[in-house]
Structure 1
Amino acid sequence: MQSNVGLIIEEKAADIGNFIVGRLLPFRQKRAVGPFVFIDHMGPTCLAEYENVDVLPHPHIGLSTLTYLLDGAIFHRDNLGNAIEIKPGEVNWMTAGNGIVHSERTPEYLRREDKYLHGFQIWVGLPKELEQSEPSFHHINKEDIPTWEENNIKFKLIAGSIDGRKSSVPVHCPLYFLEIRTEAKQTIGIGDKLFGEVGMYVLKGTISIDGKEYGSHQLLVAKEARLCEFETNGETTVFLFGGEPFPEERFMFWNFVNSDKELIERAKSDWKDQNLESFPKIPGDDKEFVPLPDLPNFKAK
């Protein structure tokens, strides 16, 4: 029987300033999975008392960001005035639309002690008609994330909709981001509940598909979502994400995503010039910012 695994993407290190993450998307052979255009796996790592996450104020357009933590804490601020700490099991959902600026830092009370950090930073493209919408931000508490158990398999629907269940995260297009945990060997046939394109990330343990074993730090992209079936080999945690791809191509430069390259070029110019009408300062975090990357010959792709 031919395998349903169409592509295997190995997690690769990426430097986001003073922190190294494992980048899963985009990949040269696969720029997106459904509406998901960017996925970073943060950690797991222990930061010493002198090490802190300080992602300085930076802009986005044309996308929604999803931050989901498994361990640790990050303090979010944005130019809409939101200032909130995100903890394990919670979700920060920020829609950039026509432009937003935010920062992510270690909370003040943790900055002088050892701490752990583990989670995901995800970008989801916006439907074309919403790429120029007004920006917004939502924080979703962990008790508002749907969880359930079937046949000793634990499910958590972090975002989107699946099989009649819906997450509280206010997504803008058909998608799903699902956590699956098992403590013993299990066969999981879930393809009849999926749609569009689907990717699978093995966080812990191993899985088997058509007799072949796959471990952590690998992103598997299925040829057909409806054929998604796998076997966990004991205590295992996997994440499934996907949904309907957009009919138009999405282009990306740095933190900007859009179906229109001219809007990306405009955002580049506005951020370089620190145009405060397009990208206002963040209340309480307005002293620093990440400069536009010096890539003069690099265009959105």
Structure 2
Amino acid sequence: MADNLFLQTLLPTTHDLGGFKVHRTLPHRERTTIGPFIFFDQMGPAHLAPGIGIDVRPHPHINLATVTYLFAGAINHRDSLGTFATIEPGAVNLMTAGKGITHSERSPAAVRAEGPELSGIQTWLALPSDKEEMDPAFEHVAKADLPVIDGGGAQARVVMGTLWGATAPVTCHSLTIYADIVLDPGGAIPIDADAEERGLYLALGDASLDGEPLQPSTLYVLRPGVRATLRSERGGRVMLCGGAALDGPRHVFWNFVSSRRDRINQAKEDWKAGRFALPPDDHDEFIPLPEIVKTVSYP
């Protein structure tokens, strides 16, 4: 039965970062992308110790877009465009690196005293080859501006693209689908079959697809065209991601993604030489270029 639904089952690489865990399912040794998604991380869920927060120092990106989506907690975003934005649960931060951008991510001071919550998904989208060197950009879309499909004991928030007949206002640089599906106990929802490549990820609780149980923190690549129903017995939270297949292979080094290896080498030299601008209000420190790239690298 599972073979009729799933092309691949991608188990996570899990790292304990001292206070919280990160589960990474893309890139994976068996598959590097699902649609434009080339990086898929689940952070937490965790409640950090009082006085502690996350402090991801300024670092660079090229030729990709980052998508931050939280289930709990808050993160302050600052970037080299001068942007400052606080993301909270249900909203979206889309940062398009294009020809180059730097940013930092830190827990707001207001939540550090009691110990901040941290739970959510961070993804990277590879840009189409003809848009890799576009100008960098940032957009924040509030929770209230994202469409929600509600029924059958399920709430599905469309984060990017068009699903179940509703379209999110978030910019898509190529055909992209992304949704946050919350299932009540006994809830169910049909999974849209229109996108060329699709993945399902069980983030919290329990869920099954046409009777096949999904394992936590695991990314399931669905067969093209398969129509199936997602259900939960006790309640769960599932992310649906995917879109059109990429227009060619991508190279990945640290925070750099590109269709051209020489472009990544140039970005490495530019970062070492200090040719990337830092966020104007967060420029006193930065993450140096690693000699050996770790699977998960947070300061």
Q: Give the TM-score normalised by the residue count of structure 1.
A: 0.91
The answer for the alignment partner of 1:153 in structure 2 is 154
5+ residue gaps, structure 2, are 294-299
- State the 1:188 CA deviation: 3.5
Q: Which moved more, 1:203-212 or 1:92-101?
A: 203-212
Counterpart selection for 2:286 from 270, 286, 289: 289
SS in 1 for 2:271: helix
> Aligned partners of 1:183, 1:107: CA distance in 2, in Å?
31
- State the 1:210 CA deviation: 5.1
Q: Residues 9-39 of structure 1: CA distance to partner in whole angstroms, max 9, x if unpaired? A: 2222246798641112111001011110001
| Matched residues, number | 292
SS in 2 for 1:265: helix
- Counterpart of 1:286 in structure 2: which amino acid? H
- Counterpart of 1:248 in structure 2: which amino acid? G
- Counterpart of 2:179 in structure 1: which amino acid? L
The answer for the alignment partner of 1:21 in structure 2 is 22
Contact in 2 for aligned 1:205/1:215 (Cα 8 Å): no
> Aligned partners of 2:19, 2:57: CA distance in 1, in Å?
10
SS in 2 for 1:98: coil
The answer for the alignment partner of 1:9 in structure 2 is 10
> Aligned partners of 2:183, 2:20: CA distance in 1, in Å?
30
Q: How does 1:43-58 map to 2 (within 5 A)?
A: 43-58=44-59
Contact in 2 for aligned 1:71/1:119 (Cα 8 Å): yes
Q: How does 1:1-301 map to 2 (within 5 A)?
A: 1=1, 2-14=3-15, 20-192=21-193, 194-209=194-209, 211-275=211-275, 279-295=276-292
> Aligned partners of 1:184, 1:166: CA distance in 2, in Å?
27
> Aligned partners of 1:17, 1:81: CA distance in 2, in Å?
30
> Aligned partners of 1:174, 1:212: CA distance in 2, in Å?
28
- State the 1:99 CA deviation: 0.1
Contact in 1 for aligned 2:183/2:231 (Cα 8 Å): no
- Counterpart of 2:219 in structure 1: which amino acid? L
- State the 1:187 CA deviation: 4.7
Q: Residues 24-67 of structure 1: CA distance to partner in whole angstroms, max 9, x if unpaired? A: 21110010111100011011001112321000000000000000
% of aligned pairs identical? 38
- State the 1:186 CA deviation: 4.4
- State the 1:152 CA deviation: 3.2
Contact in 2 for aligned 1:19/1:53 (Cα 8 Å): no
Query: What is the alpha-carbon root mean square deviation over aligned residues?
Result: 2.0
Q: Which moved more, 1:175-184 or 1:97-106?
A: 175-184
> Aligned partners of 1:112, 1:213: CA distance in 2, in Å?
39
Q: Give the TM-score normalised by the residue count of structure 2.
A: 0.91
